[in-house]
Amino acid sequence: MLEVQEKIVLGFLQDTPEASILDVGGGHGQLAIPLCHSNFAVTVLGSSESCRKRISEIVDSGKCAFKVGNVIELPFAEKSFDTVISFRMLTHCKQWPRLIEEFCRVAKHSVIVDYPTSQSLNKIAPLLFEAKKKLEGNTRVWTLFRHNEIFREFEKHGFVLNRKKAQFFLPMALHRALKCRTLSVALEAVFRALCLTSLWGSPVIIEMVRKA
């Protein structure tokens, strides 16, 4: 999952190699680390100092800045960063419209986020919740979105869709249950070749850009 996510995001950013990036909630380092290794100017915002732990190496080396703050009251001025990215935040945030508003306020050019959509096989995800909870132990409740629901919220703040790419056809809970990377990769390759992933895949990564 992380390899696919990283490849998509780096692909979206390939035309802006010198972009300044704010990674909201990115203390897990899943994108901050590869972005820093690709020489982007990255700032990670975490909700507490403990969020610095996993990215301490790139922070201590000066490759990445780290700041503690409220994700729905970002401690930055308008248009402080070329691009704002945030992953696995919208689906777990009850105040997700406010989250989008803050992303748009701080972003000069674009916002890149992901979200699970009900317009996919993820529609059955609630039925798999208990199984997922047993597999992961710390699974949180999440929200499934319709695409237009997300797009409309961004449009309120002057941002429109530039690119959209689905990551997987099968729900992640099923892949985790399979516990076989080789099989998961093979299955997803087939669905991608049949264009099923682009039609009904999830989670979706989108790039929203500020209107000229």
CATH code: domain of residue 178:
3.40.50.150
CA distance 212 to 191: 36
CA distance 114 to 189: 21
Are 104 and 76 within 8 A, CB to CB? Answer: no
Residue-by-residue pLDDT tens, the chain, 212 positions: 789 999 999 999 999 988 999 999 999 999 999 999 999 999 999 999 999 999 999 999 999 999 999 999 999 999 999 999 999 999 999 999 999 999 999 999 999 999 999 888 766 655 555 555 555 555 556 789 999 999 999 999 999 999 999 999 888 777 878 888 899 999 989 999 999 999 889 999 999 999 98
Looking at residue 208, what is its pLDDT? Answer: 98
* DSSP three-state, residue 75: coil
Looking at residue 178, what is its pLDDT? Answer: 84
Looking at residue 142, what is its pLDDT? Answer: 74
Are 44 and 89 within 8 A, CB to CB? Answer: no
Beta-bridge partner residues of 112: 85, 207
Looking at residue 127, what is its pLDDT? Answer: 55
At how many degrees (to 10) do helices 96-106 and 147-155 cross?
A: 50
pTM for the full predicted model: 0.88
Looking at residue 128, what is its pLDDT? Answer: 55
- Read off the pLDDT of residues 139-197 as tens digits, 9 standing for 90 and up: 556 789 999 999 999 999 999 999 999 999 888 777 878 888 899 999 989 999 999 99
Looking at residue 171, what is its pLDDT? Answer: 80
- Of 98, 118, 127, the closest CA to residue 202 belongs to 118
Looking at residue 132, what is its pLDDT? Answer: 52
What range defines the domain where residue 174 resides?
A: 2-210
CA distance 138 to 133: 7
Looking at residue 120, what is its pLDDT? Answer: 82
With b for 16 or more beta-carbon neighbours within 10 A and e for fewer, the 11-28 pattern comes to ebbeeeeebbbbbbbbbb
Looking at residue 170, what is its pLDDT? Answer: 87
Sequence-distant (6+) residues with CB within 8 A of 100 are 90, 111, 113, 150, 153, 154, 157
Total of domains in the chain: 1
